[in-house]
Structure 1
Amino acid sequence: MSLKGKLIAGYFAIGLIYTLYSWLFGQYSHFSFAYNLGRGVIWPAALFPAVGAVLGVIVLLVVIVGLHLNRR
């Protein structure tokens, strides 16, 4: 397995551990497993709120640039 594959597998392994912890013991345990799985997929944004804000800005910029380029 390449380094890229190991990094992706490690990322999703940490996400699964975060999902199980959040679903069973965390403050979001009253939400469904699917909700916690979604939080687990983006676990850096869930653990570090600043990352979520940065991701939001990036998505907003991509949408604005896409709309701008689509007009031409």
Structure 2
Amino acid sequence: MTDRPLFADAHWRAACNGGACVEVAFHGGWVGLRDGKQGDLGPVLTFTADEWDAFVRGIKDGRFETP
């Protein structure tokens, strides 16, 4: 099992769409994603750089569009 970082001192960037925001941070080769409304109080989903790249490619390819 890999130790995942806590992102305590990471720089978070907001991405918003119609008032709904998520925050993303890149820290030590990891990517953290959290709910913009909860900020430091909410959980952080963590991804490796490869996992994040695959997710972003899926978005760009339209894999998450509703039919």
* TM-score between both structures, scaled by the size of structure 1: 0.33
TM-score w.r.t. length of structure 2: 0.35
Larger radius of gyration: 1
More helix by share: 1
More strand by share: 2
